[in-house]
Amino acid sequence: MTMTTTNYDDVISARARELDISGIRKVFELGAKLRDPINFSIGQPNFPVPDSIKQAAINAINSDRNGYTLTQGIPELRRVVSQRLLEDVVWETPSDELGLIITSGTNGGLFLSCLAMLNPGDEVIIPDPYFVVYPAMATMAGATAKLCNTYPDFRMTAQRVEPLITDRTKFVLLNSPSNPSGVVLSNQEMQELAELCERRGVLIVSDEIYDEFTYSDAKEDGRCPSPARYSQNMILIRGYGKTYGCTGWRLGYAAGPKVIIDQMQKLQQYTFVCAPSMAQAGVVGAFEVDMREQVKAYQRKRDMVEQAFDGIASIVHPGGAFYAFVEVPEILEETATGFVERAIENNVLLIPGCVFSSRDTHFRLSYAVEDRTLERGLEVLRGLMKA
């Protein structure tokens, strides 16, 4: 191998080379040139971390709890997560069958799931449109992401998934409420998908990071629908970052068959080691914090978005998360990238659908911004659509 200080081509792995971040980078580069953009591109809440959660993390730091924690997470946090899973999906964790691990963000849980289950050549079924990291996670594990076309209603139903299952399929990656569409599947759809997967011997990995951002019209029995109510043949992954506005704290958890969680724990030991110690201590009391006002405010913002585009552009009703996936009106005869470039010229940052999809027909709008900013941005976009 020849190597110079200016050419590292031979050093970079095929795995790294295969990952493409050019779509997002382009938006960020264009956005960086703007002075004070109306930023609808950000995937995080705009409210501060509740004081009691901040204080618990500060207390942990000040009382010198800054060392490694147990790989699987601190006992007091594991206890409250276990209790939550028992109440919400009637899972007993940890038990002989089911394991539980606190992870470095939801992404940490997703990545460990991939490392624990995927061999080169394996297949994972993911929705199209998808959260950007899903295909990358499969690639990093040497596997292939097979796209399940969910257009035009963005519902990853059993009917759509079934034809994609092959001998190489390891799991179906489900994300409800969805990024980028905000669509929430019903319990009935979850049950059908869970039954299909049981029948065909594949697992579900359910990314439920937006579970708390399920709006009243999409909730069933007052809760976010989940396949975990119908199957334990799955990895259930949830997080703290979005719900409590602490995305930088890198905290989530994963539960599922003990044999798989044990492997994930081994892989965490050799990679992340543990989730951040002060963040774990910070969220021990989080489930007691009432976030209903914040969620209600986001539901109102969701309504503002739907009203703004009413009769102008089509949006599939987002039952959760804080995104709308808006179709660029056909009469404009332009791609989503083209529309997004025009929006950016007009100081509004969006993400074109091609970043999340094989198609470039929609854009993602994150409405996790102040009402006034949302109103101003929506006015600009309406103007661009009428042009």
Ligand X SMILES: Cc1ncc(COP(=O)(O)O)c(C=O)c1O
In the complex, which residues of this chain contact ligand X (CB under 6 A)? 43, 105-107, 131, 175, 179, 207, 209, 239, 241, 247, 252
Q: Which two tokens stand for residue 370?
A: 């102040």
User: Burial, 280: exposed, middle or buried (Cβ in 10 Å; 0-12, 13-18, 19+)?
Assistant: buried
Phi and psi at 39, nearest 5°, equal: -100, 100
Using an 8 Å Cβ cutoff, are 332 and 22 in contact?
no
Q: In Å, how far from its chain's centre is CA 52?
A: 25
Eight-class DSSP state of 171: E
Element (H, E) at 238: strand 234-239
Distance CA 180, CA 203 (A): 23
Closest approach of ligand X to the CB of residue 42, in Å: 10
Between 107 and 169, whose beta carbon lies closer to ligand X? Answer: 107
Closest approach of ligand X to the CB of residue 226, in Å: 14
Between 43 and 352, whose beta carbon lies closer to ligand X? Answer: 43
Closest approach of ligand X to the CB of residue 239, in Å: 4
Closest approach of ligand X to the CB of residue 179, in Å: 4
Q: Which two tokens stand for residue 339?
A: 């529309």
Closest approach of ligand X to the CB of residue 116, in Å: 17
What is the side-by-side strand order in the sheet with 351-352? 323-327, 362-366, 351-352
Between 210 and 385, whose beta carbon lies closer to ligand X? Answer: 210
Look at residue 335 and give its three-state secondary structure.
Answer: coil
Closest approach of ligand X to the CB of residue 98, in Å: 21
Using an 8 Å Cβ cutoff, are 107 and 98 in contact?
no
Between 207 and 360, whose beta carbon lies closer to ligand X? Answer: 207
Between 365 and 385, whose beta carbon lies closer to ligand X? Answer: 365
User: Counting every residue, how long is the chain?
Assistant: 387
**Amino acid, res. 305:** V
Between 183 and 385, whose beta carbon lies closer to ligand X? Answer: 183
Between 43 and 385, whose beta carbon lies closer to ligand X? Answer: 43
Closest approach of ligand X to the CB of residue 313, in Å: 23
Using an 8 Å Cβ cutoff, are 387 and 370 in contact?
no
Between 43 and 135, whose beta carbon lies closer to ligand X? Answer: 43
Closest approach of ligand X to the CB of residue 164, in Å: 20
**Amino acid, res. 163:** P
Between 50 and 241, whose beta carbon lies closer to ligand X? Answer: 241
Closest approach of ligand X to the CB of residue 106, in Å: 3
Which of 106, 25, 90, 113 lies closest to 275, judged by CA? Answer: 106
Give residue number: closest CB to ligand X. 105
Using an 8 Å Cβ cutoff, are 76 and 239 in contact?
no
Q: Give the pairing type, strands 98-103 and 323-327.
A: unpaired
**382 vs 207, 326, 328, 372, 386, CA distance in Å?**
33, 12, 11, 15, 6
